[in-house]
Structure 1
Amino acid sequence: MKELQEIVKAYDDATERGLKTALATVVHVEGSAYRHEGARMLVTENGELTGAISGGCLEGDALRKARLAIVESRNTLVTYDTTDDDDATMGVGLGCNGVIQVLLEPLNPGDEFNPIHLFRSYLAKRQEAVLGTFFSLQNKLAPQAGTSVLLTSDRGQQGFLDSAVKDAFLADAGKVLKCAESLIVNYHDTITGFIEYLKPPVHLLIFGAGNDAMPLVQFAHILGWEVSVIDGRANYATTNRFPSASQVLVSKPEHCLSGIVIDHWTVAVLMTHNYNYDIAALRQLSNFDLKYIGALGPKKKLQRMLDELQENEIPLSAEKLDIVFGPTGLDIGSETPEEIALSIVSEIKAVLSNRTGTSLKFRPAEQNAVELVSKKHPNAKFSSCAINL
């Protein structure tokens, strides 16, 4: 999400300066790579880069080839094979051992459905979307359709969709939305589709505008999350103190969710250091289907709040209790506000990714093997949403 926002901004700036641009997109990965399908980079004709398609080793060559694609005004599919001795030096800096397909698309400002315009339509509101990018792995000299269609709930289908793949693509797009997983599909011998699931950014609600909330807002902003800061103290809850927050609201405890839009991608942290305010927020948050609610402070404080809700006939189900984390944050030995903020955003990210937050050193080898197979065979999903090979 953040990368798309930065690419759109850089494209607008380049267009204003009269510079031609191209979009580089990782569309297929087999084996290991620093970044995977959906990684993007905007290239200007004078060599400016926004975004990234690797850890740095592919960008230089991709820049050169993207500028050539701009001159030729032609979509191009480029292969980087870091398993090949000739290309291996490109992967040394990444520790890569895979085959990476990068699609280069010159951008025409006059095309109402060029990829940037599709991104802009998706970014216009918080929504799920499906983006279709089409290319030919079998014949790289054939025309590469590129990023050509977007499906959103508010505007439906936008862009051009080849009649040969339309029905199949629409069916696959439905599966992608249902499963919230991107797919790579071979439609026939000459067309492969990267059917990408796009979701809104995480929306972090921070109840409390004390000094310890400042680094938490900053960390979340760096990650591209939207942040709302809510507090009852007008001299604390100000935009001057939280310039990177999406919104800063002054509210009484009983109305602390007024003016807040809560959806499936919303998480919350209670850190007002005021028991009555925190429990009022928790009481109201319990009415929503969130994935994470964190409570700063000792565990006994959280238990007291839960017991009080129970006594007032507002019991939390086992499912609700599972998403309440207190003390909030991973156990990394945090002491300073900055370290505590790091532990909190890390725990939220782990929960949203269904991970434990364990050191990668101790990740089971079997899990690595499953992920490697899923990268080699993207249609072989290990879930109820499987599309079998």
Structure 2
Amino acid sequence: MKEIKEILKAYDLAVQHNEKTALATVVKVEGSSYRQPGARMLITENGALTGAISGGCLEGDALKKAQMVIFKQQSMLVTYDTTDDDDAKFGVGLGCNGIIHILIEPIVESRKNNPIQLLKVCTTNRSPKVLVTLFDLKNKRANQPGTLLLFQEKESIYNQTFNQVKTEVQTSILEACSTVFTNNKTLIQSIEQTNFTAFVENMQPSIRLNIIGAGNDVLPLVKLAKAMGWDIVIADGRSNLATSTRFSEAIEVLTGKADEVVGRLKVDRKTAVVLMSHNFNYDLGILKGLYPYKCPYIGVLGPKKKLLKLMDQLANQDIALQEKEENLIFGPMGLDIGAESPEEIALSILSEVKAVMAGNVGGHLRSKNGPIHNHPNGSVRS
């Protein structure tokens, strides 16, 4: 979501300067690629780039094609095939051994629910959403339908392009949206009896990081989390430390006793809570107040015996955690990377949070049997 937010800022700036823009989106990958479907880049007519669609190999060529799209005001599907050993002949030198399909769309400010406007809706709240991009692999130079529908629980938003496709195509798209919305997994699906392929994208909010504690060791954690585009909330009983000036990167700073603060904490399935107050009773109050747990990660700073003591205290207060609830609590928190300094500990903690959110266990990538990422169309990251 960080990349999308940066693209939205860049777009608003381009509008202020009266610059025309185009949006490039990776919509399908066959084989290996540095970026996966959903990677985006905004291009202005003057050549400014925001976001990335590769490790830097495709951007130059995509810029030229995007400027053509802006000039003609017609979308284009571009394919880079690097499965040939001599990929230098494409002028991009990817070395990824994959086929990357990129949709480039002109952004027309006056067009209702254009791709940028749909992306803006994705950032307005933390509710789950599904974004649909439709493209034609057999007629790549034809005007592509593009980003045409944002599916959400209460009301779906679509542009005029959606109304222009056949009813049976609309039905297939909406059925795919329901599947993705239910399963929380992105889908790339061919539309039967047509040349169209739908990139049905599971749009997840940024990770929210609720940090309990405002000591000096929290500072590098906040800076690193901010660099990754996470939403940060600070909470502490010490009002002299928990200030918006000290933590300008936070979207919210809460102060008060544990039982006061915990009621103001917002948690969902993309929220992590880390207990770093260095105050046992304060951490206990937060842990007690969060029960029943509705977030996938609660981290406890300190040795294992501290966590065991916290569990005992919860039991004494008639909160007996079941195995599934205990599995949500990580103490000591962090991946074992040999961290010593506050900055290294921050890296360890955030790495574990990211792994848990992604459903991974951490570890060395070289130890994996198979691709780094498993995607609906079998693509992998190089």
* 2: CA distance, partners of 1:167 / 1:39: 26
* 1: CA distance, partners of 2:292 / 2:276: 19
Aligned residue runs from structure 1 range 14-163, under 5 A: 14-84=14-84, 87-88=87-88, 94-160=94-160, 161=162, 162=165, 163=167
The aligned residue for residue 255 of structure 2 is 250
* 2: CA distance, partners of 1:19 / 1:368: 40
Aligned AA for 1:173?
Answer: C
* 1: CA distance, partners of 2:212 / 2:168: 51
Change (3 A) 1:369 1:214: closer
Instruction: Say yes or no: does 1:177 pair with 2:181.
Output: yes
1:261 to partner: Cα distance: 2.0
The aligned residue for residue 228 of structure 1 is 233
| Higher RCO (C-alpha under 8 Å, 6+ residues apart) | 2
Aligned residue runs from structure 1 range 277-296, under 5 A: 277-296=282-301
Aligned residue runs from structure 1 range 297-336, under 5 A: 297-336=302-341
The aligned residue for residue 365 of structure 2 is 360
Write the deviation string for residues 19-59 of structure 1: whole angstroms up to 9, x where unpaired: 01000000110000000101000000000000000000000
The aligned residue for residue 195 of structure 1 is 200
1:155 to partner: Cα distance: 3.3
Contact 2:76 2:142 in 1 (8 A): no
The aligned residue for residue 246 of structure 2 is 241
Aligned AA for 1:208?
Answer: G
Write the deviation string for residues 266-289 of structure 1: whole angstroms up to 9, x where unpaired: 110001000000001111122222
1:94 to partner: Cα distance: 4.9
Aligned AA for 1:195?
Answer: V
3-state SS, counterpart of residue 368 of structure 1:
coil
1:349 to partner: Cα distance: 0.7
3-state SS, counterpart of residue 248 of structure 1:
strand
* 2: CA distance, partners of 1:278 / 1:262: 16
Change (3 A) 1:182 1:370: closer
* 1: CA distance, partners of 2:231 / 2:87: 40
Change (3 A) 1:53 1:302: same
The aligned residue for residue 6 of structure 1 is 6
Which of the residues 222, 227, 238 maps onto 1:217? 222
> Higher mean Cα deviation, 265-274 or 286-295?
286-295
The alignment's C-alpha RMSD in Å is: 1.8
Sequence identity (%): 47
Write the deviation string for residues 309-333 of structure 1: whole angstroms up to 9, x where unpaired: 1122111110010111111101111
1:112 to partner: Cα distance: 1.5
Aligned AA for 1:176?
Answer: V
Aligned pairs, number: 375
1:113 to partner: Cα distance: 1.3
1:93 to partner: Cα distance: 5.9
1:156 to partner: Cα distance: 2.3
For normalisation by structure 2, the TM-score amounts to: 0.94
* 1: CA distance, partners of 2:182 / 2:267: 20
1:369 to partner: Cα distance: 9.0
The aligned residue for residue 386 of structure 1 is none
* 2: CA distance, partners of 1:61 / 1:259: 49
Aligned AA for 2:277?
Answer: T
Change (3 A) 1:322 1:89: farther
Contact 1:82 1:91 in 2 (8 A): no
Instruction: Say yes or no: does 1:165 pair with 2:169.
Output: yes
Contact 1:138 1:189 in 2 (8 A): no
Contact 1:14 1:21 in 2 (8 A): yes
Which of the residues 369, 373, 378 maps onto 1:375? 378
1:368 to partner: Cα distance: 2.4
1:202 to partner: Cα distance: 0.9
Contact 1:286 1:320 in 2 (8 A): no
